[in-house]
Amino acid sequence: MDGFVVKLPRGQPGDGGGSGAKRPRLDKPGPERPPPREIRAEGLCCDYRILFGKAEADEIFQELEKEVEYFEDELTKLQVFGTWHKIPRKKVTYGDPGLSYTYSGVTFHPKPWIPVLTRIRERVTSETGHTFNFVLINRYKDGLDHIGEHRDDEKELAPLSPIASVSFGACRDFVFRRRGRAGPGRAGLGGPGRISLPLAHGSLLLMKHPTNLHWYHSLPPRRRVLAPRVNLTFRNVLPRAKQGNVQPPGPLGSEK
Ligand SMILES: O=C(O)CCC(=O)C(=O)O
């Protein structure tokens, strides 16, 4: 990976620079809770921090494993360049009533919120100051499960709203690749072309505008990872009447 700018936090440990909404006081940084990081590159703006300490993250992870009901049958397939594939992970959506979200040729209607998801969503909001009406959950049974390179650019997403990605379970590498770059160091373009971030148990990665316009992301396979991981991406889905912000499609088929 070539370098990217990591700025250390302003003010209090755990200060996310949100809208000032009241949020729980976080523990001091330490081995279990490294300081928050700002990840910046051209067209990329993300904040990373530990949101839940180990004990709380363990408890939430167990509850997610017990309570979340993943999609089955047709909803576990996706279309890439016209061909249907079974996805290499489990997924499901929860959210406010009446919303729908279409990607990779499938329309998803969210299941109603359940207490463990409301708990995580409220913590994300109190930490960041942003509200969310929808969550996509991906479960990776081990390091062979993965998600291919894509951008979260569906027309249903509120265009300027960030996406909050919360992870539990095995630590996995999350990789950004800039649009139009085959890899790091390609001639003619400044800055890094690829950024890899290990996403820890209980962590929050806040992906802000315009990251999803300029950067793909993926969770590549990691053979050595034997444990499961659950990732929740909290989003803002526009009600049908307000949709219409169609962003130009990227060169790749979406793999979500
Ligand atoms: O599991 C992850 O960290 C990535 C999930 C993702 O890329 C997505 O939901 O769009």
The whole model's pTM is what? Answer: 0.82
Inside any domain, residue 185: yes
Inside any domain, residue 172: yes
User: Ligand 1 within 6 A of 151 CB?
Assistant: no
Helices (H), 68-144: 115-128
Best mutation site among 78, 136, 153, 165 for ligand 1 pocket (most ligand atoms within 8 Å of CB): 165
Inside any domain, residue 187: yes
How far, in Å, from the CA of 21 to the mean position of ligand 1? Answer: 26
d(CA 82, CA 79): 6
How far, in Å, from the CA of 94 to the mean position of ligand 1? Answer: 15
Inside any domain, residue 248: no
The total number of structural domains that make up the chain: 1
How far, in Å, from the CA of 219 to the mean position of ligand 1? Answer: 7
- CA terminus-to-terminus distance, the chain: 24
Q: What is the pLDDT of residue 190?
A: 55
How far is CA 123 from its chain centroid? 15
Please count the CA atoms within 13 angstroms of the CA of 136 that sit on its side-chain side: 22
User: Ligand 1 within 6 A of 256 CB?
Assistant: yes
- Residue length of the chain: 256
Contact 239, 99 (CB under 8 A): yes
User: Ligand 1 within 6 A of 204 CB?
Assistant: no
CATH assignment of the domain containing 47: 2.60.120.590
Q: What is the pLDDT of residue 20?
A: 37
48 has binding-site annotation: no
Q: What is the pLDDT of residue 32?
A: 63
235 has binding-site annotation: yes
User: Ligand 1 within 6 A of 136 CB?
Assistant: yes
Inside any domain, residue 14: no
Contact 166, 234 (CB under 8 A): yes
Q: What is the pLDDT of residue 82?
A: 82
Can you give the pLDDT of all 256 residues of the chain as single tens digits?
Answer: 333 433 333 333 333 333 334 444 444 556 667 789 999 999 999 999 999 999 999 999 999 999 999 998 777 887 778 888 889 999 999 999 999 988 777 888 999 999 999 999 999 999 999 999 999 999 999 999 999 999 998 889 998 999 999 999 999 999 999 998 655 444 444 568 999 999 999 999 999 999 999 999 999 999 999 999 999 999 999 987 677 654 433 334 456 6
Q: What is the pLDDT of residue 75?
A: 75
d(CA 200, CA 82): 35
**Domain coverage including residue 97:** 39-237
